[in-house]
Amino acid sequence: MNLNELITHIPINQTIGNSDIEITRLEFDSRKIVSGSLFVATRGTAVDGHTFISAAIEKGATAVVCETLPENLSAEVCYLQTGNSAEALGQLAHCWFGEPSKHLTLVGVTGTNGKTTIATLLYQLFLKEGFSAGLLSTVCNYINERAVEATHTTPDPLELNSLLADMVESGCTHAFMEVSSHAVDQRRIAGLEFAGAIFTNLTRDHMDYHHTVENYLKAKKRFFDDLAPEAFALTNADDKNGFVMLQNTKAKKFSYATRTIADFKGKIIEESFEGMLLQINEHEVSVPFIGRFNVSNLLAVAGAAILLGIPEIEALQQLSTLHPVSGRFEALRSPSGYTAIVDYAHTPDALNNVLSTINDIVKGKNEVITVVGCGGNRDKGKRPMMAKEAVTASTKVIITSDNPRDEEPMDIINDMLAGLSTTEKRHTLTLVNREQAIRAACMLAKPGDVILVAGKGHEDYQIIKGVKHHFDDKEVLLEFFKTEQ
């Protein structure tokens, strides 16, 4: 593609060299440059891409987009100085891949928890309604039914626009994606045209990255601020920041809630480990989901579907046919009569929601045994809170490893234990080995008890010292169940 055509949509403050040249590849990683590439130098969280401009040129880059021009300029290279390289990368990727989001009804979901659930259920619903649809999610990306491995909750701009272009080429009319706060902050979604945006909730997460809740809120809010007037913005009116997210949006505002006035209102009529009977607006709907938090998720799904043109009755009927996302409140019945729940809860609020749901069903008649850890190289502040949530709402707790990554597992466990009183610690088991921790919970459980294995959900790996080992909570449980038969 001609460079002049590519840079039409980005603000260029200064051009040095000939920009009427053909570009063979758009890249932001100097290690992937090929001859004729346009290299975009972005300031990262670990290093500054500007330090790799010369390396990119040595590998054949013939054009460079950067915020700061290098001291030594090459006569064979076109330099384009811009105010924000990350923003420019998003716009360039949008253009490079043929502006795919213009040819899709693209809906983004943001918030601390519920993004994967809502985006995946919308994708399922639109497939069931006969549409060709795509999904970008933490668990997996899909182009119609074709699975593409997910490296992130929200991919980098090149991978993101490449996947969207693949969806267009595959005949997709709708695409649903998660918009993480990192993605908004790093401008991975720059240039995308959204038909709608959904806000789930804002509670503690990613403080290791955003450092303050205010920064975290601002990152998510920017997603709504940037929406076009013809888009819809659907927010959770139960969340205290629900309308804060929408206060500067130009989009059409709508809300959903279980506890207050809203465009899409719902509540639980009945609940068991098999599912719930809900009242949504003036209709009763039976769904194979559990927990008040899932009522919110399902209201967002139904609301967005209706705003996208699905008749209300059809949208609500479809809710009954949807199936839970892998690793989100997955109930496994043991041969000896206890139930094990595998769930992805890895924030204090998520753990609180899941344990509240379990206790609403168990009602104190049986034991609730929780196995939980915290990820390494992630928010340390949440660790004592996670332990406290687990101990407060469980009869037994086993603290263990999640993805230790580059940290010492015992250091993470000790950070968690710091949230407990002496008495609470005395009643809490710690086992660094996650498999042993899950097995111990199964050995402790009696018929009717509930085990919650929290934090990893769908993950089939455990990251230890940079190595991704195979590990799957569900597999460990099913292996133990075999010993009970």
Ligand X SMILES: Nc1ncnc2c1ncn2[C@@H]1O[C@H](COP(=O)(O)OP(=O)(O)OP(=O)(O)O)[C@@H](O)[C@H]1O
Ligand Y SMILES: CC(=O)N[C@H]1[C@@H](OP(=O)(O)OP(=O)(O)OC[C@H]2O[C@@H](n3ccc(=O)[nH]c3=O)[C@H](O)[C@@H]2O)O[C@H](CO)[C@@H](O)[C@@H]1O[C@H](C)C(=O)N[C@@H](C)C(=O)N[C@H](CCC(=O)O)C(=O)O
Residue closer to ligand X (CB basis): 96 or 123: 123
Minimum distance from residue 51 beta carbon to ligand X (Å): 31
**From 46, 75, 261, 467, residue interacting with ligand Y (rule: CB under 6 A):** 46
Residue 272 is assigned to a ligand binding site: no
Q: Which of 279, 121, 100, 286 is nearest to 200 (CA)?
A: 121
Minimum distance from residue 433 beta carbon to ligand API (Å): 16
Judged by the rule CB under 6 A, the positions of this chain that interact with ligand X are 113-117, 138, 153, 178, 200-201, 293, 296-297, 328, 343-345, 349-350, 353-354, 457
Residue 180 is assigned to a ligand binding site: yes
Residue sitting closest to ligand Y (CB): 44
Task: Pick one of ligand Y, Mg ion, ligand API, none as the site partner of residue 200 (Cβ within 5 to 8 A by kind).
Answer: none
Task: Pick one of ligand API, Mg ion, ligand Y, none as the site partner of residue 346 (Cβ within 5 to 8 A by kind).
Answer: ligand API
**From 19, 52, 366, 394, residue interacting with ligand Y (rule: CB under 6 A):** 52
**From 116, 403, 428, 430, residue interacting with ligand API (rule: CB under 6 A):** 403
Map the chain to HEC letters.
Answer: CEHHHHHHHCCEEEEECCCCCECCEEECCHHHCCCCEEEECCECCCCEHHHHHHHHHHCCCCEEEECCCCCCCCCCCEEEEECCHHHHHHHHHHHHCCCHHHHCEEEEEECCCCHHHHHHHHHHHHHHCCCCEEEECCCCEEECCEEECCCCCCCCHHHHHHHHHHHHHCCCCEEEEECCHHHHHCCCCCCCCCCEEEECCCCCCCHHHHCCHHHHHHHHHHHHHCCCCCCEEEEECCCCCCCCCCCCCCCEEEEEECCCCCCEEEEEEEEECCEEEEEECCEEEEECCCCHHHHHHHHHHHHHHHHCCCCHHHHHHHHCCCCCCCCCCEEEECCCCCEEEEECCCCHHHHHHHHHHHHHHHCCCCCEEEEECCCCCCCCCHHHHHHHHHHHHCCEEEECCCCCECCCHHHHHHHHHCCCCHHHHHCEEECCCHHHHHHHHHHHCCCCCEEEEECCCCCCEEEECCEEEECCHHHHHHHHHHHHC
Please tell me whether residue 82 binds ligand Y under the rule CB under 6 A: no
Please tell me whether residue 181 binds Mg ion under the rule CB under 5 A: no
Please tell me whether residue 222 binds ligand Y under the rule CB under 6 A: no
Task: Pick one of ligand Y, ligand X, ligand API, none as the site partner of residue 45 (Cβ within 5 to 8 A by kind).
Answer: ligand Y
Residue 456 is assigned to a ligand binding site: no
Residue closer to ligand Y (CB basis): 155 or 324: 155
Residue 433 is assigned to a ligand binding site: no
**From 177, 278, 455, 471, residue interacting with ligand API (rule: CB under 6 A):** 455
Minimum distance from residue 463 beta carbon to ligand X (Å): 15
Please tell me whether residue 388 binds ligand API under the rule CB under 6 A: no
CB of 409 closer than 8 Å to CB of 438: no
Which of positions 132-191 make contact with ligand Y (CB under 6 A)?
Answer: 138, 152-154, 156, 180, 182-183, 186
Task: Pick one of ligand Y, ligand API, Mg ion, none as the site partner of residue 42 (Cβ within 5 to 8 A by kind).
Answer: ligand Y
Which of positions 283-342 make contact with ligand API (CB under 6 A)?
Answer: none
Binding mask 136-175 for Mg ion (x = CB under 5 A): --x--------------x----------------------
Residue 113 is assigned to a ligand binding site: yes
In the block, which residue shows the tokens 């693949």?
A: 166
Residue 459 is assigned to a ligand binding site: yes
**From 178, 330, 389, 402, residue interacting with ligand API (rule: CB under 6 A):** 402
Residue closer to ligand Y (CB basis): 86 or 431: 86
Which of positions 411-450 make contact with Mg ion (CB under 5 A)?
Answer: none
Minimum distance from residue 49 beta carbon to ligand Y (Å): 3
Kindly list the distances between the CA atom of residue 148 and the CA atoms of 140, 161, 306, 338, in Å, as whole numbers in the listed order. Answer: 6, 14, 28, 35
Minimum distance from residue 154 beta carbon to ligand Y (Å): 4
Residue closer to ligand Y (CB basis): 112 or 249: 112
Task: Give dist(CA 296, CA 319) in Å, integer.
Answer: 13
Minimum distance from residue 25 beta carbon to ligand Y (Å): 13
Chain-centre distance for alpha carbon 332: 24
> Which residues are documented as binding site?
30, 111-117, 153-154, 180, 186, 188, 378, 402-405, 455, 459
